[in-house]
């Protein structure tokens, strides 16, 4: 389950840190990385983008260089001449979580300059990034690009601190050169630092600026994720090249990412803020500009009216600090009115963080392949069901799941569709029979993310490219609260076991959807909490319970591959869920074995055992597809 966090680390380009360091020590020379040489090949694919670059080791730039000066903090990461504020903001978030940066910068004490043992320093460093389900170790030398003896890219506010500059170099090596980092996705960098699951919230589409309920819900979500030590950042997209890194009248910068360092309800009672805002608590967000300067100019900005009306002791009491360091506070209302996107990276299943919330992971490396596993999106009705299919279970009556689909090569438009069924074991062959839970939009992106609250059931995921017959590998990850039995659906129908040559094979497949019921017996003050138990040839499937009604709607399906349809009919019972003991409400036995395609039936209910011929109140509506061709459903 934690393989992606603690599993085997892959050596990038087969470079082993210990071996290379030992070789350099034996040769009495500092390490030079021929796989990412200190020359223009590692800088840009655009010739002469920055003239006059000189590669220098830290000891040629300053005296007493250090990997860390008083540990790592969000203030250690300031942007240089590269348009990679997304990476800078992610690095700033990383610096706040010691447990995480210990994973990205392993053995940091061993890698540090040691003034007592200068001979141990060999000019070599290692970093680790999560890529497509596994951790990859990157080895680099310590040559860094400078102009006029100054670092031209990421740098720390402390002139002799180099962890952020070396981290950026390792990331540039992973992607080919520094210029590749000029424009990227913040959420992707957060994933590469953590192995977590990221998504980006479009606050414009969510209407959080104008709808108070949506704003309250977003704040609660952000606060919950921040309490679980998720990494977060916000941005304002630029709509043109002229807008890139242009400041707005409020002081915020377009085309720029800001790390989110706190999300909290500030309790105002007993402070000077209570009379100012006339409320008990004030939802606030703290952000940091990766540039280390340039802050918000509105409410709670440096020198603002709000600060001037609050005493220092009151500010300390509510946990607000006002310093000129690129970090600033905003009310949630101002935050939603000014920012467009929020990226949240949830670090899942990480015992080293001791999160209250833990997730159960299902992970699979798959591929869209011709001729029969690359069907394209659902617009391609004849081929869509040729795509890979995966299944997982939600065992609680209502629970969250997260799904991420990640393609291993950029440039494809991808998405996925989710279908619910209670006992699916084999691939789906008839899309029209199944309830679609949801589907993601299709877009050209490294990954797609979905988080949803659903009823219990067995869910089928069908990941796809937009166009059919496109071949590419992907990684799919599913997270649930409880064990989910995640696996790929490989077979089209039940497979005959080699040791069961004397047993019968299925001769009929029945797909039944219990749609709804009406006029059921009232058994509680508010009606009943009815659910269905569907049974056939020893297999039993139970639906969720509808609450406080005698006219329930379920719209839940089950499929049965039947060996003795004549002797062992299919039965649907309706029960009322109770705290102590469930009570019986009626049943219907389906004896028909003829073929049918999506036939809807309204049937009567009868009693149990000796009363099985006695009618019970209410009618049950089902939809049945039945065939001797086992790949019909």
Where residue 318 falls among pLDDT bands split at 50, 70, 90? low
* Arch. (CATH architecture) of 360-489: Sandwich (2.60)
Measure the CA–CA gap between 166 and 148, rounded to whole angstroms: 19
Which is more confident, 1 or 41? 41
pLDDT in tens, 123-160: 999 999 999 889 999 999 999 999 999 999 988 888 89
Looking up tokens 């689909």 gives 405
pLDDT higher than threshold 80 for residue 500: no
Q: What is the CATH number of domain 198-346?
A: 3.90.70.10
Q: What is the CATH number of domain 508-627?
A: 2.60.40.150
- DSSP string over 368-435: EBTTTB---STT-TTTGGGS-EEEEEEEEEEEEEEEEEEESSSS-EEEEEEEEESS--S----GGGSE
For residue 241, the model assigns a pLDDT of 58
Using only C-alpha atoms, the chain has a radius of gyration, in whole angstroms, of 30
pLDDT higher than threshold 50 for residue 625: yes
Q: In sequence order, which ranges of 270-339 are alpha helices (DSSP H)?
A: 273-277, 305-308, 312-318, 332-338
Nearest to 260 by CA among 350, 355, 343, 168: 343
Nearest to 346 by CA among 167, 452, 193, 181: 193
For residue 388, the model assigns a pLDDT of 95
Q: Are 75 and 325 in contact (CB under 8 A)?
A: yes
Question: Active site includes 289?
Answer: yes
Question: Active site includes 85?
Answer: yes
Where residue 408 falls among pLDDT bands split at 50, 70, 90? confident
Q: How far is CA 581 from CA 162, 277, 576, in A?
A: 66, 52, 9
- Mean pLDDT over residues 444-461, rounded? 84
pLDDT higher than threshold 70 for residue 272: no
Which is more confident, 115 or 467? 467
pLDDT higher than threshold 50 for residue 399: yes
Per annotation, catalytic residue among 4, 85, 511, 532: 85
pLDDT in tens, 513-527: 999 999 999 988 888
For residue 321, the model assigns a pLDDT of 66
For residue 303, the model assigns a pLDDT of 74
pLDDT in tens, 322-374: 665 678 889 999 999 999 999 999 887 544 444 455 678 899 999 999 999 99
- DSSP annotation of 253: B
3-state secondary structure of 152: coil
Where residue 4 falls among pLDDT bands split at 50, 70, 90? very low
Tokens describing residue 75: 């203030």
Residues composing the chain: 633
- Mean pLDDT over residues 529-539, rounded? 96
Residue extents of the structural domains in the chain: 3-194, 198-346, 360-489, 508-627
Q: CA angle, corner 445, sides to 234 and 406, nearest 5?
A: 105
For residue 361, the model assigns a pLDDT of 87
Whole-prediction pTM = 0.81
Q: How far is CA 326 from CA 41, 83, 246, 291, 343, in A?
A: 34, 18, 16, 7, 19
- Mean pLDDT over residues 293-299, rounded? 82
Question: Active site includes 429?
Answer: no
Q: Is the peptide bond preceding residue 283 cis, with omega within 30 degrees of 0?
A: no
Range with the poorest average pLDDT among 243-252, 389-398, 473-482, 483-492: 243-252
Please, what is the average pLDDT of the chain? 86
180 phi/psi in degrees, rounded to 5: -60, -25
For residue 529, the model assigns a pLDDT of 96
Run of H or E including 486: none
Nearest to 359 by CA among 489, 232, 486: 486
Residue 119, phi-psi category: left (phi > 0), alpha (psi -120 to 50), beta (remainder): alpha
Per annotation, catalytic residue among 289, 322, 338, 484: 289
For residue 274, the model assigns a pLDDT of 62
Q: Are 233 and 342 in contact (CB under 8 A)?
A: yes
For residue 217, the model assigns a pLDDT of 92
Measure the CA–CA gap between 181 and 154, rounded to whole angstroms: 12
Per annotation, catalytic residue among 4, 256, 434, 588: 256
pLDDT higher than threshold 90 for residue 166: yes
Tokens describing residue 212: 């108070």
For residue 314, the model assigns a pLDDT of 67
For residue 179, the model assigns a pLDDT of 93
- Mean pLDDT over residues 519-545, rounded? 93
For residue 514, the model assigns a pLDDT of 96
Q: Are 613 and 606 in contact (CB under 8 A)?
A: yes
Nearest to 396 by CA among 479, 331, 456, 353: 456
Where residue 411 falls among pLDDT bands split at 50, 70, 90? low
Run of H or E including 307: helix 305-308
């Amino acid at each position: 389950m934690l393989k992606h966090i603690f599993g085997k680390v892959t050596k990038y380009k087969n470079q082993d840190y210990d071996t290379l360091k030992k070789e350099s020590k034996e040769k009495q020379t500092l390490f030079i990385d021929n796989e990412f040489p200190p020359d223009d090949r590692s800088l840009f694919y655009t010739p002469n983008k920055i003239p006059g670059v000189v590669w220098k080791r830290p000891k040629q730039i300053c005296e007493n260089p250090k990997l860390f000066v008083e540990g790592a903090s969000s203030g250690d990461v300031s942007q240089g001449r590269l348009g990679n504020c997304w990476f800078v903001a992610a690095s700033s978030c990383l610096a706040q979580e010691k447990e995480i940066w210990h994973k990205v910068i392993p053995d940091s004490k061993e890698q540090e300059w040691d003034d007592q043992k200068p001979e141990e320093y060999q000019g070599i460093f290692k970093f680790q990034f999560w890529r497509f389900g596994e951790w990859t170790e990157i080895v680099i030398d310590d040559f860094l690009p400078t102009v006029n003896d100054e670092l031209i890219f990421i740098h720390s506010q402390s002139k002799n601190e180099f962890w952020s500059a070396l981290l950026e170099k390792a990331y540039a090596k992973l992607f080919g050169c520094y210029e590749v980092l000029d424009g990227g996705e913040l959420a992707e960098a957060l994933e590469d630092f953590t192995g977590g699951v990221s998504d980006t919230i479009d606050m414009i589409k969510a209407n959080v600026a104008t709808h108070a309920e949506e704003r309250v819900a977003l704040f609660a979500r952000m606060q919950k994720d921040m309490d679980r030590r998720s990494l977060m950042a916000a941005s304002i997209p630029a709509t043109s090249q002229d807008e890139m890194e242009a400041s707005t009248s409020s002081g915020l910068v377009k085309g720029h990412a800001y790390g989110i360092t706190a999300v909290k309800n500030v309790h105002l009672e007993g402070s000077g803020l209570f009379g100012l805002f006339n409320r008990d608590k004030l939802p606030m967000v703290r952000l940091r500009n990766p540039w280390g300067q340039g802050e918000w100019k509105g409410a709670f900005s440096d020198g603002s009216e709000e600060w001037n009306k609050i005493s220092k002791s009151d500010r300390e009491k509510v946990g607000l600090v006002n310093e000129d360091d690129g970090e600033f506070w905003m009310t949630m209302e101002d935050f939603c009115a000014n920012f467009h996107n929020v990226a949240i990276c949830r670090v899942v299943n990480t015992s080293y963080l001791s999160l209250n919330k833990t997730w159960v992971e299902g992970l699979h490396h798959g591929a869209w392949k011709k001729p029969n596993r690359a069907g394209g999106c659902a617009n391609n009705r004849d081929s869509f069901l040729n795509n890979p299919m995966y299944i997982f279970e939600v065992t609680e009556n209502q629970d969250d799941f997260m799904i991420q689909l990640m393609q291993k090569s950029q440039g494809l438009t991808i998405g996925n569709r989710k279908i619910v069924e209670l006992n699916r074991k084999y691939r789906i062959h008839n899309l029209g029979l199944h309830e679609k839970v949801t589907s993601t939009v299709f877009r050209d992106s490294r990954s797609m993310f979905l988080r949803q609250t659903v009823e219990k059931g067995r869910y089928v995921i069908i990941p796809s490219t937009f166009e059919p017959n496109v071949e590419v590998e992907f990684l799919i990850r599913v997270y649930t609260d409880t064990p989910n039995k995640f696996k790929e659906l490989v077979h089209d129908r039940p497979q005959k076991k080699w040791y069961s040559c004397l047993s019968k094979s299925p001769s009929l497949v029945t797909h039944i959807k219990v749609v709804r019921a009406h006029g059921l017996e009232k058994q509680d003050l508010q009606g009943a909490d009815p659910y269905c138990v569907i049974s056939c040839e020893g297999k039993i499937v139970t639906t969720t319970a509808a609450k406080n009604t005698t006219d329930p709607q379920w719209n839940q399906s089950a499929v049965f591959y039947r060996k003795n349809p004549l002797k062992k009919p299919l039965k649907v019972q309706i029960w009322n869920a109770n705290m102590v003991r469930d009570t019986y409400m009626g049943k219907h036995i389906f004896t028909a074995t003829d073929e049918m395609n999506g036939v809807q039936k309204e049937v009567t209910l009868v009693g149990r055992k000796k009363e099985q011929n006695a009618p019970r109140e209410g009618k049950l509506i089902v939809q049945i597809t039945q065939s001797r061709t086992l790949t019909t459903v």
